[in-house]
């Protein structure tokens, strides 16, 4: 049963010639690209809010463990920005417009922007751990939904997800010290 795979190259070649303007989006793309673009635009919003929150916390943190916590937040912030850029590039590849509109970022993001008091390092760590856990769950669900219908977007999300899990683990280590 496993060797009945026949690749109909003639059909694929004909399909590829149609809708050339769609670039990388071909007939074998297995999901509604508009829906994927919307989801990725919410990922961009989520990552931008995470960047804002980590940056704010890194700058305002005070107290005895300030340096270590601020360094970790700054590193995470840089990675969140990269995640937003990677999601935006994928939106563009899919023929969409990346949405960085600040007017709607907070509403579209899966996580919240928070402002704990500067000396509440533990509270800051907890807010960021909660955000990472929300991001991990939502990206896992997107990955499961995409399944094998858009492997490139799925792998992008999987690669980002791996870093979000590292972020959660880093924060857990800091909370433990
Ligand atoms: Fe991220
Ligand atoms: Fe993260």
Q: Is 110 annotated as a binding residue?
A: no
Tell me the ligand closest to 83's alpha carbon.
1
Written as six digits, the tokens of 94 are: 């899919």
**pLDDT at res. 4:** 84
Please give the Cα distance from 121 to 61 (Å, whole number): 7
Q: How far, in Å, is the centroid of ligand 1 from the Cα of 9? A: 39
**pLDDT at res. 30:** 86
pLDDT in single tens digits along all 177 residues of the chain: 567 888 888 988 898 898 888 889 988 888 999 999 999 999 999 999 999 999 999 999 998 899 999 999 999 999 999 999 999 999 999 999 999 999 999 999 999 999 999 889 999 999 999 999 999 999 999 999 999 999 999 999 999 999 999 999 999 999 996
Q: Is 164 annotated as a binding residue?
A: yes
Please give the Cα distance from 124 to 126 (Å, whole number): 5
**pLDDT at res. 66:** 93
Domain region containing 170: 31-176
Task: Tell me the CB-side half-sphere exposure of residue 175, using CA atoms within 13 A.
Answer: 15
104 within domain boundaries = yes
Q: At what angle do helices 121-146 and 66-93 cross, to 10 degrees?
A: 20
Cβ-proximal residues to 68 (8 Å cutoff; 6+ apart), any chain: 174
Written as six digits, the tokens of 97 are: 């417009």
How many independent structural domains does the chain possess? 1
Going by the DSSP 8-state scheme, the letter that residue 33 receives in this structure is H
Please give the Cα distance from 171 to 76 (Å, whole number): 10
Q: How far, in Å, is the centroid of ligand 2 from the Cα of 164? A: 4
Please give the Cα distance from 89 to 99 (Å, whole number): 11
19 within domain boundaries = no
Cβ-proximal residues to 126 (8 Å cutoff; 6+ apart), any chain: 175
**pLDDT at res. 177:** 60
Kindly report the CATH number assigned to the domain that includes residue 124.
1.20.1260.10
100 within domain boundaries = yes
Q: Is 167 annotated as a binding residue?
A: yes
6 within domain boundaries = no
Q: Is 132 annotated as a binding residue?
A: yes
23 within domain boundaries = no
9 within domain boundaries = no
Tell me the ligand closest to 80's alpha carbon.
1
Q: How far, in Å, is the centroid of ligand 2 from the Cα of 26? A: 32
Q: How far, in Å, is the centroid of ligand 2 from the Cα of 24? A: 29
14 within domain boundaries = no
16 within domain boundaries = no
Please give the Cα distance from 3 to 32 (Å, whole number): 30
């Amino acid at each position: 049963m496993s060797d009945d795979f026949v690749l109909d190259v003639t059909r694929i070649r004909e399909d590829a010639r149609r809708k050339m303007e769609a670039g990388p989006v071909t007939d074998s793309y297995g999901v509604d690209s508009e829906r994927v673009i919307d989801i990725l635009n919410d990922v961009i919003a989520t990552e931008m809010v995470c960047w804002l929150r980590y940056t704010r916390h890194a700058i305002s943190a005070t107290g005895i463990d300030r340096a270590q916590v601020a360094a970790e937040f700054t590193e995470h912030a840089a990675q969140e920005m990269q995640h937003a850029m990677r999601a935006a590039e994928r939106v563009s590849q899919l023929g969409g417009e990346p949405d960085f509109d600040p007017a709607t970022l907070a509403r579209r993001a899966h996580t919240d922007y928070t402002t704990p008091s500067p000396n509440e390092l533990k509270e800051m760590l907890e807010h960021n751990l909660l955000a990472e856990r929300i991001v991990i769950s939502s990206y896992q669900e997107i990955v499961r939904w995409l399944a094998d219908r858009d492997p490139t977007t799925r792998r992008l999300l999987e690669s980002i997800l791996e870093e979000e899990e590292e972020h959660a683990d880093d924060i857990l280590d800091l909370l433990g010290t």
